[in-house]
Amino acid sequence: MTLPPCPADHLAAMAAAVLEKCGLAHSRNLRVLDVGSGSGLVAQTLAAAATEYAAVDLARNELERVSCRQSGAKVTARRMEAADIRLLKGRSSTLSC
């Protein structure tokens, strides 16, 4: 079964809702860890509220897209399984999703 991709505006609204529900919608000094970052469409909204944005995904091409997105955040992309985020010792985040 193949489904069409979720529209970009829906993904941006979803990311904005995550920030709102977490009480972070008006923050601009966040450290975001996005596990399973995918194409980076959600990342664009999350990174706009962050000073540091870390993307974790298995797909190299998806991480390249995340790295190319423009934001004011320092973007770090790591190719790894979600189970391996424990290897990011010494790093904390304001929002992990």
Task: Let me know if residue 10 belongs to a domain.
Answer: no
First to last CA, the chain: 26
Percent of the chain past pLDDT 70, that is, above it, reads 86
Does residue 89 surpass a pLDDT of 70? no
pTM, two decimal places:
0.73
Could you list the residue range(s) of the whole structural domain that residue 81 is in?
28-96
Residue 40: which CATH number? 3.40.50.150
Task: Let me know if residue 19 belongs to a domain.
Answer: no
Task: Let me know if residue 48 belongs to a domain.
Answer: yes
Is the dihedral angle over the CA atoms 6, 9, 15, 21 positive or is it negative? negative
pLDDT tens, residue by residue, 6-29: 888 888 888 889 888 888 888 778
Task: Let me know if residue 2 belongs to a domain.
Answer: no
Give the number of domains in the chain: 1
In this structure, how many other beta carbons lie within 10 angstroms of the beta carbon of residue 13?
13
* Residue 54: pLDDT band with limits 50, 70, 90: confident
Main-chain phi, psi angles of 2, to 5 degrees: -115, 125
Task: Let me know if residue 22 belongs to a domain.
Answer: no
